[in-house]
Amino acid sequence: MLLTFLITQTAWTKHPEPVIRPSEFWDAFGVGDNALLYEDGIYKIWYTGGGFDLGDTVIRIRIGHAVSFDGITWYKYGPVLQNGGPGEWDEGGVETATVVRDENGYHMWFDGYDKNGFPPLAFGYATSPDGINWMKYPGNPVMTQGGPGEPDNFFMDSPTVLKEQDTFRMWYAGADSSTKMGICYAWSTDGINWTKYQGNPVFSPSEPWCSWAVATPSVRHFGPLYEMWYAGWSQWPDSIAIGYATSPDGINWTPWPGNPILTLSPDSWDSIGVAAPDVLLTDKYEMWYTGSFVNWIGYASSPAGVSEDSSSIPPELSCPGFFGASLSVSAPGAMEISLFDPAGRLIFRERTSLVSWDTDALPRGTYFILARWHDGVKTTKTIRIR
């Protein structure tokens, strides 16, 4: 059973086109380095964008947010975490976020660097009640590069965090003075005070395709094993690919013998390489990654033993495209209907197939309706308040 589980999720199919591209001033120069959650039937992504503000020529690196119902069509909210002010440790930019949600809200750890644009050498921490309005920890950064002789004394980047019981567990890319990069591990009980594992790195370049570096890890714990997807390369910047490894404890890792599992596509938008994966398990394995040539975000999926009937006709969802003081929605046979705001936050949810909501107090903007049926089928619709 475990072998079947691994084989299915290492066979990935790319979506033919990038799913998030630069489209606004703030992310005009590129998007990537994504982190995802799947909540209440909606995908939420936090990603790095490089651009500027209208009327301003200063290039800013910030973290933005978007939502989706299928992981492919995304609705951008805009930047939600700004780079620091003059003289602050992250004045140069913030990027490469990882996000965890628990009973206390949302937690984010991110790369930050100074006004000179040096490579990310420290991690910051922020919290939010809704994933949109973030408050940076005033004592940032919460983790800095190691001292002489330590495996992250030259460079650290790309944290990925899980919360298990009362402990936050972090994996991140670290490089020593030889600039050979591996994956390091640390843990914390409060997300602020971190203890680095004395045996770092816990995963090092060992395969020909990634003999120089492994980086940008994404660690998940879906089943009996910890699973890690990571970027690797033998020569920068060419031929960056994504590999896969498993571990019984998050420390002792075994790479998949068939690596890499996702590679560049020649003469395509990701023709230099693929990196910075993040993976969710819904009714299938789903991966979002950064494609190198233009720095856009791509999508790939793996069936994980689940087949889909692409010929089925989505159930009917009836409601107006525009609404004002009230909204009525009909989805015959549905077990649940939900309304989300432009940031993907749940506003209403009713376990019924016919609802009427008072929406007079809601601000103008784009909203999303999601209807679910008992067999797992769902239908969505985008509407606007006038």
Confidence of residue 374 (pLDDT cuts 50, 70, 90): low
**Whether residue 367 sits in one domain with residue 298:** no
Q: Does the structure show a pLDDT above 80 at 5?
A: no
* Count of Cβ atoms closer than 10 Å to residue 178 Cβ: 8
Query: Does residue 177 form part of some domain?
Result: yes
Percent of the chain with pLDDT over 90: 56
> Which comes out higher in pLDDT, residue 129 or 366?
129
- Domain end position, chosen among 271, 302, 333: 302
Cα 227 to Cα 219, 243, 276, 288: the distances in Å are 6, 11, 15, 15
Q: Does the structure show a pLDDT above 80 at 18?
A: yes
Q: pTM of the prediction?
A: 0.85
**Whether residue 361 sits in one domain with residue 264:** no
| 186-189 own/partner pairs: CB under 8 Å, 24+ apart | 186/143
| pLDDT at 324 (0 to 100) | 56
**Whether residue 229 sits in one domain with residue 356:** no
Query: Does residue 313 form part of some domain?
Result: no
CATH assignment of the domain containing 105: 2.115.10.20
Sign of CA dihedral 271, 275, 276, 278: positive
Convert the pLDDT of each residue in 60-94 to its tens digit: 899 999 999 999 999 999 999 999 999 999 999 99
Asked if residue 110 lies in contact with residue 124, where contact means CB atoms within 8 angstroms, the answer is: yes
Convert the pLDDT of each residue in 291-302 to its tens digit: 986 689 999 998
**Whether residue 212 sits in one domain with residue 351:** no
The three-state secondary structure class of 118 is coil
**Whether residue 335 sits in one domain with residue 193:** no
**Whether residue 165 sits in one domain with residue 26:** yes
Convert the pLDDT of each residue in 141-199 to its tens digit: 999 999 988 999 988 999 999 999 999 999 999 998 776 799 999 999 999 999 999 99
| Number of separate helices (H) and strands (E) present in the chain | 1, 28
Q: What pairing do the DSSP bridges indicate for beta strands 378-385 and 322-323?
A: parallel
CATH assignment of the domain containing 380: 2.60.40
Query: Does residue 340 form part of some domain?
Result: yes
**Whether residue 353 sits in one domain with residue 251:** no
**Whether residue 298 sits in one domain with residue 327:** no
Q: How many domains does the chain have?
A: 2
Query: Does residue 47 form part of some domain?
Result: yes
**Whether residue 330 sits in one domain with residue 294:** no
Query: Does residue 316 form part of some domain?
Result: no
Query: Does residue 157 form part of some domain?
Result: yes
Q: Which H or E element spans position 173?
A: strand 167-175
Q: Does the structure show a pLDDT above 60 at 313?
A: no
Distance from C-alpha of 276 to C-alpha of 218, rounded to nearest angstrom = 8
- Domain end position, chosen among 268, 302, 336: 302
Largest CA-CA distance found in the chain, in angstroms, rounded: 66
Query: Does residue 314 form part of some domain?
Result: no
- Domain end position, chosen among 272, 302, 332: 302
> Which comes out higher in pLDDT, residue 361 or 202?
202
**Whether residue 341 sits in one domain with residue 263:** no
Amino acid at 382: T
* Count of Cβ atoms closer than 10 Å to residue 377 Cβ: 15
**Whether residue 250 sits in one domain with residue 338:** no
**Whether residue 287 sits in one domain with residue 370:** no
Confidence of residue 2 (pLDDT cuts 50, 70, 90): very low
Query: Does residue 295 form part of some domain?
Result: yes
Domain containing residue 336: 322-385
Give how far the C-alpha of residue 97 lies from the chain's centroid of Cα atoms, to the nearest Å.
Answer: 7
* Count of Cβ atoms closer than 10 Å to residue 285 Cβ: 25
Convert the pLDDT of each residue in 316-338 to its tens digit: 666 655 555 567 777 676 667 78
